[in-house]
Amino acid sequence: MTNTPEETDGYQAVDIVKWIATIVQLIGYGLTGLNIVPWNVFAFFIGILLWLAVGVMWKDRAIMVVHIGAFLSLFIGYLNA
């Protein structure tokens, strides 16, 4: 069976992005718990943008809206810190 460019060993591109986003978000939580600032915020920005990309790939507006809101909240908080 031949894999399409979007699929590798049963994984689609969206699955890879989803897992990378999840790992990056968990790193952000860990950095927050360790009070490693501002690296925690940068990790969250990357994770949020990757999850936003997943929402776009899935055409899932709820995921897009939640992550746009998270990005704006985090960005405004970062600017006010």
Rounded to 5 degrees, φ, ψ at 9 are 50, 45
In 3D, which of 26, 14, 23, 78 has the Cα closest to residue 52?
Answer: 14
Confidence of residue 1 (pLDDT cuts 50, 70, 90): very low
pLDDT at position 11 is 78
Predicted structure pTM score: 0.84
pLDDT digits (tens, 9 = 90+) for 12-49: 999 999 999 999 999 999 999 999 999 999 999 999 99
How confident is the model over 64-78, as pLDDT tens digits?
999 999 999 999 999
